[in-house]
Structure 1
Amino acid sequence: MRLFYILCTKIPGNVVKNIASSSSKKVIPPTAYTRIWGSLFGKYLLVTNTISSGFLMGFGDIMSQEIEYRTNLLQKRYDWKRIGQMFLVGCLAGPFHHFFYKWMDHILPKADVVTSAKKIFLDQTIFSPFCIITFFYSAGILEKKNLGECNKELKEKFLTVYFADWTIWPTAQFINFYFLPPQYRVLYINVITMFYNVFLCYVKHTETSFFKFLEPEREKSTKEN
C-alpha cells in the first residue's frame, strides 16, 4: 500500500501527462481486411459497383432458371450463355447506378425523411424507367434481336416490370437513402436486385405481359356484350 501511495503522489505530473498523451496518440495499424475493404469501397468503388452488379444479376438469373426448370418452362437446367448475357447486362447497369446515386447525393446531401422522399421520387420517375428500357434493349441486343423485336418486347413487358418496381423499390430505397452511407448504396441495391432479378429474368425470358392479366376481363366483357 505504501508503494502505491508513493507512486500516486510522488510521480511528477508532467510524466503522467506524457504517458497519457502517448497512449492517446497510439494508432492501431489497419489489417489487410480493412485495407482491402477500404479500397473496394473507396478508391475502387466504381469497379466494385460494376462487378457486383454483374455477378448478382447473373446469380439472379441462375435462380430464375432454377424456378423455370422446376416448373417445366426450361428443358435444360442452366443456360450458361444466357447467364453470361445477364452478367454483362448487370455490368452495364453498375456504372449507371454508381453515377446516378452519386449525383443524387450531391444535389440532395441530407439524410432526412423529406430528402429521402425526394430521392425516391427521382429514382422511380427517372432512373427506374431508364433502367427497364436499358435492360430490355441491352439483353435483346445480346440475344441478337433486331430493333423491332426489342421494341415489341419492351411494349409488352414494360408495365409489368414498372408496376412491380413501385411495389418493391420505394420501401427498399427509403432504407438505402435514410440509413446507409453513400458508398454502400449500390451494393445494397445489388443485393436486393439479386432477388428482384429472379422476377425480372423470368419476365424477360417468358411470355409474361401486363396485358395478359387484362385478357380474361376483356374476354368476359366481350361475351357479356
Structure 2
Amino acid sequence: MPRLLSKGLNLYKAAITVAFSRKYLFCTNVLISMGISMCGDVLEQTYEIQTKQQASWDFERTSQMAFSGSTAGCLCHHWYIFLDKVIIGRTFDMVIKKLVLDQCICSPIIILSFFATVAIFEDDPIENLTEEVSEKFWTLYKAEWVVWPPAQIINFYLLPTRYRVAYDNTVSLGYDVYTSHVKHAKPKKKENSKE
C-alpha cells in the first residue's frame, strides 16, 4: 500500500510539473479558469433551483459562463506575465503597485470581457452588453475591491507567476458564484410612486 501511494504521489507531482511548465501553462490557466467559472455557475444554479427561483437546469448558461471563464483565464495569464516584466520584485511597494494596477486596469477589463463574452450568445448582443454594463458593472467592480486586494497581496508577494492564475481561481470560486448571480438576477420591477 505505501508503495502504491508513493507511486500515485509521484505521478501527481509529475502531472503538476508538466501542467505548470512554460510549455503548457497557458492551456492550464485557461482550463482552470473555465472549470472554476463553470463550478461557480453550477453552485449558483443549484441554489436557485433549491430556492425555487429557477425551475430547471440551464446548461446553456453554464456553457456561457465556461466560455467567459476561458476568456478571463487567457487575459489573466498574459496580464500577470506583463505585470511581472513591468514591476520587478516582491517588496511591499512593488506589491502595492501591482495591486493598484491590477484593480484599476485588469479588473475593469475582466468585468467588461465577462459581459461581452456572455452577450455574444444572447439575442441582441450590443444592446444587452450596453444595458448590462450600465446596470451591473459597478456592482461587480465594488465587489472586486472587497475580494481582491487582500487576495492579490498574497498572490503578488508569495507566489511565482506560473501559479497566480490557479491561485486566483481558488479565490474566484466564491466570486464566480456571485458573478453568476449578478448576471442572471431577474431585474426588479420598479413600482410607480403615487403622488
So what's the TM-score if we normalise by structure 1?
0.76
Is 1:79 equivalent to 2:58 in the alignment?
Answer: yes
1:148 equivalent to 2:133? Answer no
Partners in 2 of 1:176 and 1:91 — Cα distance?
20
> SS at the partner of 1:190?
helix
1:65 aligns with 2:45: yes
State the Cα deviation string for residues 26-66 of structure 1 (Å, max 9, x = none).
xxxxx433332111101200000000100100000001111
Map Cα deviations across residues 94-138 of structure 1 (whole Å, 9 max, x no partner): 111000000111111211211110011001000000111110111
Q: Percent identity, aligned pairs only?
A: 36
Q: Of residues 107, 111, 125 in structure 1, which corresponds to 2:104?
A: 125
- The equivalent of 2:139 in structure 1 is 160
CA contact (8 A) 1:101 1:185 kept: yes
Match of 1:202 among 164, 177, 181: 181
Contact 1:120–1:174 (8 Å) recurs in 2: yes
Counterpart for residue 50 of structure 1: 30
| RMSD, aligned α-carbons | 2.2
Quote the Cα distance in structure 2 between the aligned partners of 1:186 and 1:97: 6
Question: Distance between the aligned counterparts of 1:201 and 1:51, measured in 2?
Answer: 18
**1:90 offset after TM fit, Å?**
0.8
Instruction: State the distance in 2 between where 1:130 and 1:39 align.
Output: 30
Distance, in Å, in 2 between the alignment partners of 1:144 and 1:53 is 26
Indicate the structure (1 or 2) with the bigger Cα radius of gyration.
1
| TM-superposed deviation, 1:171 | 0.5
Does the CA-based 8 Å contact 1:157-1:203 persist in structure 2? yes
1:115 is aligned to 94
**What count of residue pairs does the alignment treat as equivalent?**
185
SS at structure 1 position matched to 2:16: helix
In structure 2, do the counterparts of structure 1 residues 208 and 187 end up closer, same or farther at CA, with 3 Å as the change threshold? farther
1:85 CA displacement: 1.2
Question: Following the alignment from structure 2 to structure 1, what is the Cα–Cα distance between the partners of residues 157 and 73?
Answer: 21
Tell me, in whole angstroms, the C-alpha distance in 1 between the residues paired with 2:157 and 2:143. 22
1-side partners of 2:31 and 2:142: how far apart? Answer: 27
Distance 2:13 2:126 in 1: 47
- 2:122–2:128 CA contact under 8 A, matched in 1: no
**Structure 1 unaligned residues grouped into runs of 5+:** 1-30
Instruction: Report SS of the residue matched to 1:87.
Output: helix
Within-5 A mapping of 1:183-198: 183-198=162-177
Q: Which runs of 5+ in 2 are unaligned?
A: 1-9
Distance change >3 Å, CA 88–CA 45, structure 1 → 2: same
Quote the residue 1:172 is aligned against: 151
Poorly superposed stretches of 4+, deviation over 6 Å: none
SS in 2 for 1:110: coil
Shift in Å, 1:208: 5.9
1:201 and 1:52 map into 2 onto residues whose CA distance is: 17
User: Cα gap change, 1:83/1:166 in structure 2, threshold over 3 Å: closer, same or farther?
Assistant: same
Q: In the TM superposition, what is the alpha-carbon distance from 1:68 to its structure 2 partner? A: 1.5
1:138 alignment counterpart: 117
